[in-house]
Structure 1
Amino acid sequence: MLLGRSIRKWWQALPPDKQELLKDNVKRHKWRILFGICSLSCLIAVYFWTHLDKNPITGRTRLLMFSKRQFLQLAEFEYQSVLESYKDKILPANDPMYKTTQFIFSQLVEKNKDIPGVSETKWSINVVEDPEINAFVMPNGQVFVLTGLFKAVADTDQLACILGHEMAHCLLGHGAEHASIIQLLDFVSLVFLTLIWAVFPRDGLAALGQWIQNKLIEYMFDRPYSRKLEIEADEVGLRLAAKACIDVRASSVYWQQLELMKIVSGTFQIPEWFSTHPSNDHRVEHLEKLIPEAIKLREECSCPSLPSVDPRLIFKLSMQEILKLSRKKEEAICSDSEAKHLSQCFEPSPVMIERIPIVVPVQTLQSTQSTHK
Structure 2
Amino acid sequence: MEQICLRLVKLDMLSRIRSLNRVDSVVRWCGQRQRPSLFASARTDLRTNSSTSLKPRGSVTVSPSFLCLRSRLSICITAFRPPVHPFIIQSTREIHTSGRLRALPAPLIWMVLKPLQKLMAIILGRSIRKWWLALPPNRKQLFREWTWRRRWHFVGAGAGLLFFVCLFLFTHLDESPVTGRTRLLVFSRENFMELAQVTAEAYMEEFKDSLIARSDPRHQAVELVVRILAERNRDIAEISSVPWTVHVVDGPTINAFVLPNGKVFIFTGMLEAVADIHQLVFILGHEMAHALIGHAAEQASLSHVVELLSLILLTAIWAICPRDSLAVLGQWIQGKLVQFLFDRPFSRKLEAEADQVGLQLAAKACADVRAGPVFWQQMEIYDQLRGEPTIPEWLSTHPSHQNRVRQLDRLVPEALELRARCDCPALPKADPRVIFHQAVKLVLDNDKKQEKIAQEEKTEKQRAGVMLPLPQSPPVPTPGSQPQLG
Bin the TM-score by the shorter chain: 0.7 to 0.9
Q: 2:209 aligns with which of 58, 76, 88?
A: 88
Equivalents in 2 of 1:284, 1:298: separation in Å?
Answer: 20
In the alignment, structure 1 residue 111 sits paired with structure 2 residue 232: yes
Match of 1:6 in 2: 127
Equivalents in 2 of 1:171, 1:333: separation in Å?
Answer: 54
What per-residue deviation string (whole Å, max 9, x for no partner) do you get for residues 136-163 of structure 1?
1001110011000111111000010000
> Against the structure 1 CA distance between its residues 141 and 12, is the aligned structure 2 distance closer, same or farther, given a 3 Å change threshold?
same
AA aligned to 2:279 is Q
After TM superposition, list the pairs within 5 Å mapping 1:196-275 onto structure 2: 196-275=317-396
Does structure 1 retain, via aligned residues, the 8 Å contact 2:189–2:294? no
What per-residue deviation string (whole Å, max 9, x for no partner) do you get for residues 37-78 of structure 1?
111121122122211111132111111111222111111111
AA aligned to 2:301 is S
In the alignment, structure 1 residue 152 sits paired with structure 2 residue 270: no
Task: Please tell me whether Structure 1 or Structure 2 has the larger radius of gyration of its CA atoms.
Answer: 2
Q: 1:316 aligns with which of 433, 437, 443?
A: 437
Q: 2:417 aligns with which of 296, 308, 313?
A: 296
Equivalents in 2 of 1:261, 1:81: separation in Å?
Answer: 31
**Greater relative contact order: 1 or 2 (C-alpha under 8 angstroms, separation 6 or more)?**
1
In the alignment, structure 1 residue 175 sits paired with structure 2 residue 272: no
Identity %: 49
Equivalents in 1 of 2:248, 2:363: separation in Å?
Answer: 24
In the alignment, structure 1 residue 131 sits paired with structure 2 residue 252: yes
Does structure 1 retain, via aligned residues, the 8 Å contact 2:125–2:315? yes
The more displaced of 49-58 and 289-298 is 49-58
Equivalents in 2 of 1:329, 1:148: separation in Å?
Answer: 30
Give the TM-score of the pair, scaled to structure 2.
0.68
AA aligned to 2:364 is K
Match of 2:175 in 1: 54
3-state SS of paired residue (2:237):
coil
Give 5+ residue unaligned stretches, structure 1: 339-373
Q: 2:241 aligns with which of 111, 117, 120?
A: 120
3-state SS of paired residue (1:117):
helix
> Against the structure 1 CA distance between its residues 332 and 19, is the aligned structure 2 distance closer, same or farther, given a 3 Å change threshold?
farther
Does structure 1 retain, via aligned residues, the 8 Å contact 2:258–2:287? yes
Equivalents in 1 of 2:450, 2:211: separation in Å?
Answer: 39
What per-residue deviation string (whole Å, max 9, x for no partner) do you get for residues 256-277 of structure 1?
0001112233221121101110
Give 5+ residue unaligned stretches, structure 2: 1-121, 460-486
Q: 2:407 aligns with which of 286, 289, 292?
A: 286
Does structure 1 retain, via aligned residues, the 8 Å contact 2:278–2:371? yes
> Against the structure 1 CA distance between its residues 99 and 192, is the aligned structure 2 distance closer, same or farther, given a 3 Å change threshold?
same
Cα RMSD after superposing both structures: 1.5
Match of 2:261 in 1: 140
Does structure 2 retain, via aligned residues, the 8 Å contact 1:245–1:304? yes
Equivalents in 1 of 2:456, 2:197: separation in Å?
Answer: 59
Alignment: residue pair count: 338
Q: Would you tell me which structure has more helix in proportion to its own residues?
A: 1
Q: Report how far residue 332 of structure 1 moved.
A: 5.9
3-state SS of paired residue (2:238):
coil
3-state SS of paired residue (1:215):
helix
Match of 2:156 in 1: 35
> Against the structure 1 CA distance between its residues 335 and 132, is the aligned structure 2 distance closer, same or farther, given a 3 Å change threshold?
farther
The more displaced of 260-269 and 24-33 is 260-269
AA aligned to 1:45 is C
Match of 1:348 in 2: none
Match of 1:17 in 2: 138
Q: Report how far residue 323 of structure 1 moved.
A: 2.2
The more displaced of 77-86 and 244-253 is 77-86
AA aligned to 2:408 is L
AA aligned to 1:213 is Q
AA aligned to 1:258 is M
What per-residue deviation string (whole Å, max 9, x for no partner) do you get for residues 235-278 of structure 1?
11101100110000000000000011122332211211011100
What per-residue deviation string (whole Å, max 9, x for no partner) do you get for residues 83-125 of structure 1?
1111101111111111111111111111111112111011100
AA aligned to 1:17 is N
